[in-house]
Amino acid sequence: MITYRQPGVVLTDHRFTVPLDHAEPDGERIELYGREVVAAGRQGVDDLPWLVYLEGGPGCAVRRFSGAPAWLGRAVREYRVLLLDQRGTGRSTPADRRTLPLRGGPREQAAYLAHFRADAIVRDCELVRRRLTGGAPWTVLGQSYGGFCATHYLSTAPEGLAAVLVTGGLPSLHATADEVYRAAYPRMRRKVLAHYERYPQDVEAARRIAAHLVEHPTALPGGHRLTVEAFQSLGALLGVGDGGDQLHYLLEDAFVRTPAGHELSDPFLEAVRGHLSFASRPLYAVLHESIYADGRAPTDWAAERVRAEFPDFDAAAALAGDAPLLLTGETIHPWHFTTDPALIPLRETAELLAARTDWPALYDARRLAANTVPTAAAVYHDDLYVDTAHSLETARTIRGLRTWVTDEYEHDGVRAGGARVLDRLLALVRGEV
């Protein structure tokens, strides 16, 4: 273990080995990385309770902090915090276009990645917990997909939990991937139209960019192909607090005058590349729809299929008339695996995962109805990424869960809200409010 300091905190690197397949504990093993964070001066306090933070995703490494800003500063006032890179992410054993060929071809890669969902993540957490806490239960803070993992945790290993705090991540217990996206596209439409009401000049800016891309297919730095569909996916920015402002500033600087006429500017293309590339989180794309799968049917590119039910998202139709160009949100499509250099080598693997039908169910509604773990969830009103109605239905299923429904924040409230969101959730699980 390596220990070092940042302002106000002491950090310790931890590495753990866990089974790739928890059903075969003596089989192949992979490595997990976790960063312990404790307030300076408290590192020698033996009875500090543990809190483990599960990042959103799937397939996203835990955020790298400098010191202890926002919720982390609040947490280290009373917890020893573990920032865990879930399997396949960050400094844990990586899974990407460079490493997955070590497994073999697409079929072997898909079989390997079938062990990277919430069920395996929670079993990883249980092994790590017993090693760090000596068996004492710990508190889980789950952001977005981390909340999906926390809900699975309550379903399968509640004995390991002192409390559960969820921010923007209560999943539906029953909805299929099709149903998730059928609820999502109307939310995307509302968010985009609200953005255009705030920034009316962006209606023409977005149409102009899309029309240019129809006539002039464009390569981004690093080889990413910018298509109209890829441009539309920038609507995902509207799910975070300042995302609408980011989108507006991006659109207003899109064009530059050149000897060949008006072209998309280098700053615009570089910024778009940063938003669209999956190089740092390929599992987000490869595994995204599998987080909604439970073996009833293949996900079969649900977001792409369901999009056809909402023809107003068709860019060609919008450009042929005078309708505003609708943008999309947290959706993954087959074209991602033909336009992004980080995903192109994983196209066949993704196809096999989309066709898979033997995913195990992730949630046990009966066990959740008998829950005794203090649990609280921040539910963001009209969250772009997680359907509010689905979240509230789940909240009613989990015995004793207390909700804080708010429109003060978007999906990133736990980061944007400083200490306030964590303060509120802790007060709820402790019965202080």
Which residues carry out catalysis?
144, 358, 411
Nearest partner of 89 among 141, 142, 153, 32, judged by Cα: 32
277 neighbors 131 (Cβ within 8 angstroms)? no
224 neighbors 341 (Cβ within 8 angstroms)? yes
Distance CA(166)–CA(145), nearest Å, equals: 10
Distance CA(411)–CA(381), nearest Å, equals: 9
Distance CA(416)–CA(109), nearest Å, equals: 37
In 238-395, the DSSP E strands lie at: 255-258, 261-264, 375-380
Report H helices in 173-242: 177-198, 201-215, 228-232
Strand partners, 53: 83, 141
**Phi and psi at residue 336, to the nearest 5°:** -55, -35
Distance CA(368)–CA(317), nearest Å, equals: 45
Cβ neighbours of 226 (radius 10 Å) = 21
H or E, element range at 75: helix 70-75
CA count, 13 A, side-chain hemisphere, 116: 34
Secondary structure (DSSP) of 101-158:
GGG-SHHHHHHHHTT-SHHHHHHHHHHHHHHHHTT--EEEEEETHHHHHHHHHHHH-G
Distance CA(417)–CA(242), nearest Å, equals: 12
DSSP character at residue 335:
T
Sign of CA dihedral 349, 353, 359, 363: positive
Distance CA(351)–CA(113), nearest Å, equals: 12
